[in-house]
Chains A and B, each alone.
Chain A
């Protein structure tokens, strides 16, 4: 019987979504980069491949929706913790409908669905950092206080602290979990500031792993029965310095995953999947 908050990083399922062709032109982005659609799609396939074959997760692949250019970034549409899934209300108007398919997929997985219906609330999953013990919610362009409150309501067991995101798209644009109690953080000033705040707000102690590149700080951690600590992180081609930092994690099974194209539309590694743990369903 899994106790409360046991098994951080244990996942059995992943929900992903294919890249629509519209992504290249229409997906939202903070900088004007041209995206090579086919490259991006290949990248994504590789990513899914890793989850499915290399890590043995059960992957639910949702079809792309051309009307939703950003739909590949499923993370923003839902926050799953334990067997509760909060269907978000994405901050970008154009992305609101992304949640529909997600909701269906998650309820098919028998998760308890909580919906964010409040019109005044907005929340992108990319702003939600779950550390295993608590949530940090970035207050960003996409996420507001109300959204965070609703999240706190949905996951009552956990402390939910808000962290201002002054630069970058999401909170997780410059940080993520690299293991239990290990926060991977970018070295930019705002990233460091955010980390300080998180440390101050927390009753728990976190180690930090600082990487030179903010976006490289976004990695995917899992703790899988057969594999132990697994970390999907940036490739040396993209961020050579940051990759070196990850390579110091001796206990982890390190899997560099390329994300060169998606990053142009502000997609990071965590953005492309929603990870779920169904086995240790209390």
Chain B
């Protein structure tokens, strides 16, 4: 996506192109300077995906810096532009700024000299900047960030050119000053780094544009350049620090020829740089197809074991395909359950092609009648009305309607084809889809597996959840809302199921996949599908998971909800496309006399494309909006365009420009999960703000909000969270963590400071997690029910809505069960961990680095196991109640008893201990409902893991009668989760307004996972003590300790 933004910009700039080299020329100088300064690492973060452990480690350190800086940079840039030449004042902001300022200034100057003409573009680019900014704030994958950086630059440049732009101002204003300041203070040294790599990117661009055959479609250039720039960065980074020499940049990039098999069976050769990321190729393909609703699609390839894998857009292709040939195929990745909601016919057409493939290959089974019916729609779409003269006998034999096609079937197809007279191709496609979508296996991605008893089954991932098949029978189904966690470990794949109404505990269902890779592939597909279909916005990569073992993979594209929104803004004449599916040579063209003209616009196009109008072509060419390439010819066919034919070239161009404007807005809107242009537009909705808030980088915002809205309580909580985490970690080896809050002066009171600290801390953490997964991971997990408020789930399934509703009544929180708490399934051996932690703790300020180390170590340590754990504390804010739950557990991270909250008045925390009930739980594997029904028996028969569960509840003695009686008004609610190597802390803050009293309830869940030598009691005591210290004004009303000890492990 980002790339596209870049490309767009590029396009706009086209006229200016000649000038670019000069601009570039200026760049080098500044560029060098920062580089040399940057002694640490020049953002290896760029490559975390590729570089497993090492990269991750460094990523953690650097990324925050670069990212933040980026943000500030762009902000600055904008600010500068705004005030422009006189803006030197900005420099006052921090020393760091001055470092990177020069380049920008220079650049902007040179730019402004150059680019007065590009007014139109500016607007767009400014927008882009905004978007970028947001993205950066949100801190997504560092790669993405990197990209955006690159892209962002262009826009910035462009905008620089025109200072008068109002939009710019807006942008500048938007930049939260606080953030800037912070960035400045904190990341001084790092600024230079950032600018360093920014610079090269710039450089690259200039170069590229020179090298490239310019006349080629501009957009493409843009993209490529962006890519290359990116690429270039990486090597540089790797090269480590200071070497970023211009020479490197000039080096010829290694190009590779990719073959992409399109849905119509044609081959699309595409030359890419060897280090290009998946999305580069993907965008190229989409561009060629003229496809805007691209989020449903993806590129796949066969790995060396001949398994089909999805190409991760954010990772280098090279690293994914490994030794396999550079052959890909373009496929539907997410089958829209209701294709009629797609915006464009071309999207539906492509979906049809995919489905035809699925049907012909047998992947999508259907009955004879259905084969015939669908086949007849295919004929109608491709050939138009049945023509007795032309369509004699064998005209169907070029088509494959079914895996095995009989004469009888073809006859039936023809018979039905005749009945579709008058239907336009688009209508026929729609009919095709309306029928195909009802097929039970529509969009189901099947994976071979064995259940706990070794019986062969299939796991089907689809829009609604996970389906379990034995032979052809569906034996179970787990809708997404029922699934609390998805994980894999070696070749095992696990899903944790939300307990039913009558059940007490979650159950975990385990499946055995053929191998580790298969397990991981399945897991990824689940994560992606869940995110795409069930969430409004993609989940941030696990935050603050310092020591996560395993994959941090998350779906990074848009969700269905987002893509629908984006699509709704598509406003272009339907692109013409040639229907040429089943490799029947040009039949379709001649054969489809496009008889029926039903306002579909298909009429004119038919005639037109035979004799393509040069004017049209020209226009599209020059605007480079429409690529005329290869076999795919897109010709505008709307009436509008017909009129245009009579106009002057200029008019045409204008028209095109406006179209491209629209397109651009679409493109821009698209991308990354982070709140982007889109979200901005939607800002009105509370959802959006929530999302913003919750999303990782928005932390600051969050905090400040909290501060503003609530009393100190919330921010404090934040602090505590961090601190406590630390504490807990240290439990075995007491260390001082409480000092942390000192860190830095913040605008408001201490709590805020603390908050700041937390923020700071978080960032690195997030960064760390950003590094995407390395293939070596043995396991990973994913919690579909995200704790953070950020992710709103799309309502569905009445079943769970009900449940949830009920729960909500009791607990005025958005997410009935904060349970989704992240847990680390496997904790690294505490041994290694602790020392590391210790190092890190003392100075919160430098959190980043220690964190890195931790990550490092953790990863090295990986593979370790286990888990007793525990979790401390809960507190309440003034006049409120808090509640904490402590839990310990292990592999089974779930705790049941979510303490019910009770209102308290500054109760001295009287912690009374109710008898600790000891419950034995078992993880049960239920692979089919039958077993489920006789569950009592099955349970005992097939336990995977035995755990001992102990729950202790401490409650404040006097409880205010009001209890949960009246729900009150929910003002805010947020959940913050942070995880570290062996502890997971989830803080759930709920603010409610009850009869005029504002009440803040903080619920903390800390999960400690570790070896048995952790002294739980001590940890608990420590945690409580800590809590009290941290929140003198709040009281602990409830402490729940839930301890699970693994008794036996029955792995695979």
Query: Which chain A residues have a beta carbon within 8 Å of chain B's beta carbons?
Result: 1, 3-5, 82-84, 112, 133-134, 137, 139, 145, 148-149, 152-153, 155-164, 166, 193, 197, 199-203, 205, 282
Interface size (B, Cβ < 8 Å)?
38
**Known A4-B439, A133-B438, A157-B440: A282·B416 in contact at CB below 8 Å:** yes
Q: Cβ of B958 < 8 Å from any Cβ of A?
A: no
B33 to chain A, nearest CB (A): 60
State in angstroms the CA–CA spacing of A159 and B476 once bound together. 11
B475 interface residue, CB < 8 Å from A?
yes
B930 is contacted by which of A153, A159, A164, A199 (Cβ under 8 Å)? A164
Known: A159-B474, A200-B929, A201-B476. A5 touches B438 (CB 8 A): yes
- List of A residues within 8 angstroms of B365 by Cβ: 156-157
Question: B944 an interface residue at 8 Å Cβ cutoff?
Answer: no
Contacts of B367 in A (CB 8 A): 82, 84, 155-157
Q: A82-B367, A133-B438 are in contact. Are A162 and B799 (CB under 8 A)?
A: no
Closest to A137 in B: B473
A5-B438, A82-B367, A193-B933 are contacts. A149–B472 as well, Cβ < 8 Å?
Answer: yes
* B928 located at the interface, meaning its Cβ lies under 8 Å from any Cβ of chain A in the complex: yes
Residue of A nearest to B929 (CB): A197
Question: Which partner residue on chain B sits nearest A163 by CB separation?
Answer: B929
A164, B373: Cα distance in complex, Å = 34
Write the B787-807 contact mask toward A (1 if CB under 8 angstroms, else 0). Answer: 000000000011100000000
Residues B439 and A161 in contact, CB atoms below 8 Å apart: no
Residues in A with CB closer than 8 Å to B471 are 145, 149, 152
Is there an interface contact between B798 and A205, defined as CB atoms closer than 8 Å? Answer: yes
Is there an interface contact between B438 and A157, defined as CB atoms closer than 8 Å?
yes
Q: Mark B431-457, 1 if CB is under 8 A from A, else 0.
A: 100110011110000000000000000
Interface class of chain A by DSSP: mixed
- Residue in B369, B440, B462, B799 whose beta carbon sits within 8 Å of that of A282 in the complex: B369
| Residue ID in chain A nearest B419 by CB atoms | A1
Contact B474 A156 (CB under 8 A): no
Assembly CA distance A112 to B933 (angstroms): 36
**B472 contacts which chain A residues (CB < 8 A)?**
149, 152-153, 160
B434 near A3: Cβ-Cβ < 8 Å: yes
**If A1-B416, A4-B439, A112-B368 touch, does A201 touch B929 (CB 8 Å cutoff)?**
yes
Task: Name the one of B369, B435, B799, B929 contacting A82, with C-beta atoms under 8 angstroms.
Answer: B369
A4 to B368, CA, bound (A): 11
Question: Smallest distance from the beta carbon of A114 to chain B beta carbons, Å?
Answer: 10
Q: Is the CB of B477 within 8 A of A200?
A: yes
CB nearest to A190 among chain B residues: B933
Contact of A4 among B373, B416, B479 (CB under 8 A): B373
B928 and A162 contacting across the interface, CB-CB below 8 Å? yes
Name the interface residues of B350-379: CB closer than 8 Å to any CB of A: 365-370, 372-373
Contacts of B932 in A (CB 8 A): 197
B464 adjacent to chain A (CB < 8 Å):
yes
| Contact A139 to B930, CB < 8 A, known contacts A3-B431, A152-B471, A202-B477 | yes
B462 nearest CB neighbor, chain A only: A203
Q: Which residues of B contact A160 (CB under 8 A)?
A: 440, 472-474
Knowing A203-B477, A282-B416, say if A4 contacts B933 (CB, 8 Å). no
Closest 8 CB pairs of A and B: A159-B440, A152-B472, A161-B474, A156-B365, A4-B435, A164-B930, A197-B929, A201-B477
Contacting residues, chain A, for B441 (C-beta < 8 A): 159
Compute how far the CA of A156 lies from the CA of B440 in the bound complex, rounded to whole angstroms: 8
* 11 A-B interface contacts by CB (under 8 A): A1-B420, A3-B434, A3-B435, A162-B473, A162-B928, A164-B929, A164-B934, A166-B934, A200-B479, A202-B477, A203-B462
Chain A residues, Cβ within 8 Å of B373: 1, 3-4, 282
A203 touches B464 (CB 8 A): yes
Given A156-B367, A157-B438; A201-B416 close (CB under 8 Å): no
Closest to B796 in A: A205
Query: By the criterion CB–CB under 8 Å, are B933 and A197 in contact?
Result: yes
Q: With a CB–CB cut-off of 8 A, which chain B residues contact A82?
A: 367, 369
* A155 cross-chain contacts in B, Cβ below 8 A: 367
Q: How far is the CB of A221 from chain B (nearest CB, A)?
A: 20
> Please, how many angstroms separate the alpha-carbon atoms of A200 and B497 in the complex?
13
In the complex, which residues of chain A have a beta carbon less than 8 angstroms from the beta carbon of B372?
282
- Sample of 5 more A-B contacts, CB < 8 Å, known A145-B471, A201-B476, A282-B372: A4-B438, A112-B368, A164-B929, A200-B479, A200-B799
Q: What's the least CB distance linking B563 to chain A, in Å?
A: 21
Q: Are A158 and B440 in contact (CB under 8 A)?
A: yes
CB distance from B52 to the nearest CB of A (A): 39
- Which residues of A have CB within 8 Å of B475? 161-162
Residue pair B419, A148 in contact (C-beta under 8 Å): no
Cα A3 to Cα B365 in complex, Å, equals 17
Q: By the criterion CB–CB under 8 Å, are A157 and B366 in contact?
A: yes
Q: How far is the CB of B338 from chain A (nearest CB, A)?
A: 13
B466-518 interface (Cβ within 8 A of A): 470-477, 479
Rounded to whole angstroms, the CA-CA distance of A259 and B1030 in the bound complex is 74
Residues of A contacting B933 in the complex (Cβ-Cβ under 8 angstroms): 164, 166, 193, 197
Contacts of B476 on A, CB cut-off 8 Å? 200-201
Q: Shortest distance in angstroms between A38's beta carbon and chain B's nearest beta carbon?
A: 41
Q: Tell me if A134 and B440 are in contact (CB < 8 A).
A: yes
Looking at the assembled complex, report how far the CB atom of B458 sits from the nearest CB atom of chain A, in whole angstroms.
12
Q: Closest Cβ of chain A: how far from B414's Cβ, in Å? A: 14
